[in-house]
Structure 1
């Protein structure tokens, strides 16, 4: 049974087709397209239709994920150099794609060695090569289609995002929505011919800049690319100047996907509604007393009538202006995607400094395993893997100076020529739960803490995370559960989780700092979640007293912040949010989250969102 296509899906596909046509018309001027979506028939069909819009001789190349620098940029042609006996320069993939379109596969995982030259070419279409004894410059004007297949925390580099004008998402589109693009290559050629004659008025440019600021887009490239896209869309539509229709299309294709805030009108309207709701009872009570006084017998209403007679003309002049800034902003608010608010609210969570979870943990260098990151000078005797091809390319340009090789060898290779392969791998992620099991907290939150840890541990089988549990109560802290993914072991430890006694908050923080330091030395990527009310009453030396205990806790918090780069979160477990927990979070430089009414599943959802 075929699922019917909704109007929203049809509109998304129309915007995707419009983006392809705009790319074909604007080319390098619009930078390219960020195409979000997993591999499948929808994405393949869009790429086929996009390529069909281009002239037959237009280059169409694909950059693989692990493309080497020599293949991407060009450089020393090793085979030709060995045959000739002197350096021979080879053409790279980017030079071969000049005047066309390049596709970057799995762009969210592209290394900086690929992202940096692409970004430089999008800024200036001139490829400069100074490597392997070769120095050359090649004009290279191309457009980029970044195939973004990112999931969870994987995202395309911001360096490329702000240089690609068009942003489309094919993820939610079914196969049933597919239909051919309503343009032919002849339409693209015609639009390219008149593109230089299309004008962008001052009012239209002012409207674009106003919408850019209202949506919180900081990069000035966004307004520049939006203006270029507007001119390309106008040329495609056969217009001599940019109209309101093209501006609305620019908002959908260029600006809204980059929005970091809602337009101010939404917040202002919400505040007005709240104020009206608060003031409504007062207005009803004061209505009998707030009647306007009657007009004096001799008053002259002529000025008011004259002003009201002039108002229709002013309103009609505003409504007749198709490029009014307020109307453009209203259009932006009306076309906001339904999930934008959720994305913007999730942006309120402070980004982690050095951590992600599971298979997407922090990146670190390795010698023999992981994802290749290119090569660098080094000694293979140190345990690193020798990069044979890079070593030969380094040695080849120096053969004439070194003289003829002996012993039947073709090349003279010296120690300075050795190149070793650099690898990058993901580290293991560990989430450390620090639970306040004292009498004040055990009364409210012990059951929720146990349930949240069990639920999060079940996620570790999919996410490949580890979970540790530290409990502090009485006069000290205890590592109740070392880092593990064993569900049976975790449940056994949680079932015997004690409760009651004093609150040695400083001891709990010190134990957390020791565990985080140990995990970082081991190469893991830790994060911690502390469940406490922040009201310590046991000092580091075991004595009691609220004030000295809080001073010790703040000192321990500052020490943890300095000795560890792990991200953290403090969950206030008191029945009402208390300033002690907020001050503790501030000292730890951690996220503060009061949850006076949360259950275990809600704790799990919040922790998963923040830690991820």
Structure 2
């Protein structure tokens, strides 16, 4: 099948059982191909099925439901307003820009998908509302922006429309009538133990650790059987499910199956609909179908990323989220209306509304008011809600460059070129950059944090090479600068380019063993301080000392023998994990 045919088939299977399959993650920029796929999906759903769109910055009240403030004030008792999810029962929810959905909101949405209901327990009331729906998450991010894993792992299909040309986006091979018939019979579709074993075995062979993926593949196989008019899942249905559900989640290449004659199971009939036929055992057929759908560059995409430490964060991209006096709203909290606090009037009234009937029965003097002058809406100090705000702090990427003789002889020119390319990336992201170099017996701050690309390039071009390797001094200087950045409210990130062969101690004396011990101690302090770091081994051959240094920092280790400046820059960008937002 072509990429478009796979995407169209996924839309048809999803239309048969939206809630059972969880949803579809659609990676594509806005354009005619994505619009065509959404139009195709909408045409396969029942006319009466809800098809609701949710913006990425939706509030809890709008998504999940909450207190209807106006109705509550009129009635004098809590009145619940239904959210988008409660109105979407049996239909589809379209989540725009899913890669920008805040993690907390993604977790709440995932919980609703798991339970099939919205639970409201706040503002003085508790309600549970049925909400069984399918989710279409539109992923418009670039290479290092992805929707939260807690959400995407609950969606059966992961499709990428980015490489599909407009002319290839044709019609669906399924009709709305076929899908409607399949929807009616989906509850009666049976699946044998052999099918379940084949799907679970295929998931394990592809390196998929979660059982949820195998269950989703089983639901997709049932939908495929329903579309084909069968009452039991056949081998072809399981193979299709493995291709569309399991293959996009693969984390490793499966080993080729050994060809063995199929042995009939005890009590199994020859006419069993799940028979694999000529292809051998059912599990081999299903695995082969998944293997055929694996992207050709799977190992290339997983290779360097497998070396990236989970604790490290990217150089640049975006700063950490910090509580701030200014910024965009991040919820509310209880608190006193003191100087500098921003009172959320709506949320304060929302907290007070359920108690109005009770408070109206109290004497006026109990409210602190003169007789006969009780306020129309009675608000108490415990009702006050203070707005919480957050903002992105600026990222400062600190390049720590080994300019000693051991590094300069072979790699200083390449390191300079790589840093210059990375500096340009930071400038595009409006991040700050700083440059620390170490050589001889000391480290030097050549460039304090700045956004001036021209100034950074001048400092880099003037960087001399040669002398000893005071690696501990370089790491200490970078750590001190990172601490200063944090105190100013910024987010520091270290990129260390060195061969790791220290030979100058902290006190200026020489000795390789003692110098490497000092460097390792300094590296461990980086990890203890929680600083994000990345180590690029610039030696001609991978150095064990550089590997130990990276482990001490809790940082990704990138050995790059015989790499030029562009390769170093490209590897640094690929190895940096996604930021936590």
What is the TM-score of this pair, normalised by structure 2?
Answer: 0.90
CA shift digits 1:299-325 (9 cap, x unpaired): xxxxxxxxxxxx999899985466522
In the TM superposition, residue 500 of structure 1 has moved relative to its aligned partner by: 2.2
Residue 450 (str. 1) matches residue 441 (str. 2): no
Larger RCO, structure (CA 8 Å, separation 6 or more): 2
8 Å contact from structure 1 (residues 69, 113) kept in 2: no
8 Å contact from structure 2 (residues 76, 355) kept in 1: no
Tell me how far apart the structure 2 counterparts of residues 222 and 27 of structure 1 sit (CA, whole Å): 15
Tell me how far apart the structure 2 counterparts of residues 314 and 131 of structure 1 sit (CA, whole Å): 59
| Corresponding residue number in structure 2 for 1:333 | 291
Question: Structure 2 vs 1, CA of residues 313 and 125 (structure 1 numbering), >3 Å: closer, same or farther?
Answer: closer
2:247 to 245, 256, 259: 256
1:61 to 42, 52, 55: 52
2:229 to 238, 248, 262: 238
Tell me how far apart the structure 1 counterparts of residues 461 and 218 of structure 2 sit (CA, whole Å): 62
8 Å contact from structure 1 (residues 359, 464) kept in 2: no
Tell me how far apart the structure 2 counterparts of residues 391 and 318 of structure 1 sit (CA, whole Å): 64
In the TM superposition, residue 354 of structure 1 has moved relative to its aligned partner by: 5.8
What SS does the corresponding residue of 1:240 show, helix, strand or coil? coil
8 Å contact from structure 1 (residues 352, 567) kept in 2: no
Residue 415 (str. 1) matches residue 381 (str. 2): yes
| Corresponding residue number in structure 1 for 2:563 | 598
1:475 to 441, 445, 459: 441
Equivalences for residues 462-501 of structure 1 within 5 A = 462-501=428-467
2:313 to 311, 334, 355: 355
Tell me how far apart the structure 2 counterparts of residues 318 and 65 of structure 1 sit (CA, whole Å): 44
Question: Structure 2 vs 1, CA of residues 351 and 237 (structure 1 numbering), >3 Å: closer, same or farther?
Answer: farther
Equivalences for residues 46-85 of structure 1 within 5 A = 46-85=37-76
| Corresponding residue number in structure 2 for 1:15 | 6
Tell me how far apart the structure 2 counterparts of residues 524 and 114 of structure 1 sit (CA, whole Å): 25
In the TM superposition, residue 218 of structure 1 has moved relative to its aligned partner by: 0.9
Question: Structure 2 vs 1, CA of residues 117 and 450 (structure 1 numbering), >3 Å: closer, same or farther?
Answer: closer
**What root-mean-square deviation, in Å, do the aligned CA atoms of Structure 1 and Structure 2 show?**
2.6
| Corresponding residue number in structure 2 for 1:585 | 550
8 Å contact from structure 1 (residues 441, 533) kept in 2: yes
Which is worse superposed, 124-133 or 316-325?
Answer: 316-325
Tell me how far apart the structure 1 counterparts of residues 262 and 342 of structure 2 sit (CA, whole Å): 79
Question: Structure 2 vs 1, CA of residues 17 and 210 (structure 1 numbering), >3 Å: closer, same or farther?
Answer: same
Equivalences for residues 4-153 of structure 1 within 5 A = 11-153=2-144
8 Å contact from structure 2 (residues 439, 469) kept in 1: yes
8 Å contact from structure 2 (residues 307, 556) kept in 1: yes
8 Å contact from structure 2 (residues 309, 555) kept in 1: no
8 Å contact from structure 2 (residues 312, 556) kept in 1: no
| Corresponding residue number in structure 1 for 2:335 | 378
Tell me how far apart the structure 2 counterparts of residues 367 and 179 of structure 1 sit (CA, whole Å): 51
What SS does the corresponding residue of 1:520 show, helix, strand or coil? helix
| Corresponding residue number in structure 2 for 1:607 | 572
Tell me how far apart the structure 1 counterparts of residues 353 and 576 of structure 2 sit (CA, whole Å): 49
Q: Gaps (5+ residues) in structure 1?
A: 1-7, 270-310
Tell me how far apart the structure 2 counterparts of residues 368 and 82 of structure 1 sit (CA, whole Å): 31
Residue 553 (str. 1) matches residue 519 (str. 2): yes
Tell me how far apart the structure 1 counterparts of residues 262 and 426 of structure 2 sit (CA, whole Å): 66
In the TM superposition, residue 413 of structure 1 has moved relative to its aligned partner by: 1.8
Equivalences for residues 428-577 of structure 1 within 5 A = 428-569=394-535, 571-577=536-542
In the TM superposition, residue 379 of structure 1 has moved relative to its aligned partner by: 3.8
In the TM superposition, residue 603 of structure 1 has moved relative to its aligned partner by: 1.7
Tell me how far apart the structure 2 counterparts of residues 135 and 312 of structure 1 sit (CA, whole Å): 59
What SS does the corresponding residue of 2:17 show, helix, strand or coil? helix
What SS does the corresponding residue of 1:416 show, helix, strand or coil? helix
Would you say how many aligned residue pairs link Structure 1 and Structure 2? Answer: 559
In the TM superposition, residue 188 of structure 1 has moved relative to its aligned partner by: 2.0
8 Å contact from structure 1 (residues 78, 393) kept in 2: yes
Tell me how far apart the structure 2 counterparts of residues 254 and 454 of structure 1 sit (CA, whole Å): 42
Tell me how far apart the structure 1 counterparts of residues 263 and 295 of structure 2 sit (CA, whole Å): 33
Tell me how far apart the structure 1 counterparts of residues 393 and 203 of structure 2 sit (CA, whole Å): 38
8 Å contact from structure 1 (residues 204, 323) kept in 2: no
What is the TM-score of this pair, normalised by structure 1?
Answer: 0.85
In the TM superposition, residue 248 of structure 1 has moved relative to its aligned partner by: 2.4
In the TM superposition, residue 359 of structure 1 has moved relative to its aligned partner by: 4.8
Which is worse superposed, 374-383 or 143-152?
Answer: 374-383
In the TM superposition, residue 536 of structure 1 has moved relative to its aligned partner by: 2.0
8 Å contact from structure 1 (residues 354, 525) kept in 2: no
In the TM superposition, residue 221 of structure 1 has moved relative to its aligned partner by: 0.8
Tell me how far apart the structure 1 counterparts of residues 262 and 350 of structure 2 sit (CA, whole Å): 76
Tell me how far apart the structure 2 counterparts of residues 510 and 232 of structure 1 sit (CA, whole Å): 60
8 Å contact from structure 1 (residues 368, 385) kept in 2: no
8 Å contact from structure 2 (residues 22, 155) kept in 1: yes
> More helix by proportion, 1 or 2?
1
Residue 364 (str. 1) matches residue 322 (str. 2): yes
1:389 to 338, 342, 346: 346
In the TM superposition, residue 515 of structure 1 has moved relative to its aligned partner by: 1.4
8 Å contact from structure 1 (residues 367, 421) kept in 2: no
Tell me how far apart the structure 2 counterparts of residues 198 and 209 of structure 1 sit (CA, whole Å): 19
8 Å contact from structure 2 (residues 182, 229) kept in 1: yes
Which of 1 and 2 has greater Rg?
A: 1
Tell me how far apart the structure 1 counterparts of residues 99 and 135 of structure 2 sit (CA, whole Å): 14
